[in-house]
Amino acid sequence: MARFTFVTYSGLPDLDPDDRLAVDVMKSLGHQVRVAIWDDASVDWHSGGITVVRSTWDYHLRFQKFSNWYERVAALTPLWNSLALMRWNLHKRYLEVLRQHGVPVVPTIWFSAGSAVDVHEIMHAQGWPEAVIKPAIGLSTYGVLRVSTHDEAGLQSGQRHLERLLLDGDVMLQPYLASVNDYGERALIFIDGTYSHAVRKTAFQPLLPAGEAGETPARASEKEIALATQALGALPENPLYARVDLLQDDGGDPILIELELVEPSLFLSMSAQAPRRFANALIALLG
C-alpha cells in the first residue's frame, strides 16, 4: 500500500487539524499516512514515500537549516511542493518576477541586509501615509509592523524595528492599503493548478491553526481568479498546492500581496469538497 508523509513542526506535532481532514480521506481510501516533524533527526525520510510539506511554521527562524533539509529530502523521496518551487518562493523577491510577468503586485521597495535606510524619508518620497515593514524571508505576521507618518513615536519605533531586521536579512516596505480594513484579504487556494476555494482573512492575523484566526469562507470574483491564475502561470512549474493572497487597490481591483507555495494553510475546512480534492491530487501522484 502506498505511503505518504505529511511534514509539520514541533509546535503542531500531530499536524494542523485542517490538514488532518485530507489525511482522514486518504486513510479512508486505504492509504498509509504518517506525520513527521521536519527537524526530527530520528525520521527516516527515505522511507517516507510521497512527502508533503505542510505546517513547517518555524522555518523562518532557522532558514538555512530548513533549506538544507529541503535539499536533502528532495534527493531521497518525491517532495511536494518541489525543491525548485521552494527555491523560487522562500525569498519574497519573487514578487518582482511576478511583476515582470505583468501580474499586478502591491508596490514594494527592497532593502538589502546591512543597508542604511530612513523609513520616514522613503515613505514621504513615495507618498505613502502608512506602510508595512516585513522581513523578506518570513511567514504570517512574524516581523511585520505597520507604521504611519502621522505617528512620530510609532515611526521612530518602526525605524528601530527596520534596523533590527536589516541586521539579519533583507527587508521589504509596502504601502498599507485601506481596503484591508473592510474588504479584508482574499486567500485563493489552488490544488493541482485548479482553483478550489477562497477565504477572507483579516489584517495581521496571528499564526494559528486554520480557522482559529477569524478566517471566513469567501466567494472569489472572476477578476480575482483570473489574477491568481495569471500569477500561477508565471511559475517555473505547476505546484501541487498554492495559496494566492490578494488585496484591493485604491480603484477596487485585485492586487497580489503574496503567493505561498511552501507551507501555506490551505483552509481545507472552509470548503466541504476541499479535503477530498487535496487527497485526490496526492493520490494521483502515484500514477
Residue ranges of domains in the chain: 3-89, 94-102+179-265, 109-176
Coil/strand/helix, residue 75 = coil
Q: Which positions ≥6 away from 274 have C-beta within 8 Å?
A: 21, 189, 191, 196, 197, 266, 267, 268
* Fold held by 109-176: Dna Ligase; domain 1 (3.30.1490)
Place of cell 513527521: 36
CA gap 195, 201 in Å, rounded: 18
Per-residue pLDDT band at 206 (split at 50, 70, 90): low
H/E stretch holding 189 reads strand 185-191
Contact 141, 208 (CB under 8 A): no
pTM of the shown model: 0.94
Per-residue pLDDT band at 2 (split at 50, 70, 90): low
In tens, the pLDDT along 121-169 reads 999 999 999 999 999 998 878 889 999 999 999 999 999 999 999 999 9
Residues 94-102+179-265: name the CATH superfamily: ATP-grasp fold, B domain (3.30.470.20)
In tens, the pLDDT along 209-225 reads 555 667 899 999 999 99
CA gap 114, 232 in Å, rounded: 32
Coil/strand/helix, residue 34 = strand
Instruction: List Cα–Cα distances, 251 to 177, 205, 248, 259, in angstroms.
Output: 11, 24, 7, 22
Q: Is the pLDDT of residue 65 over 60?
A: yes
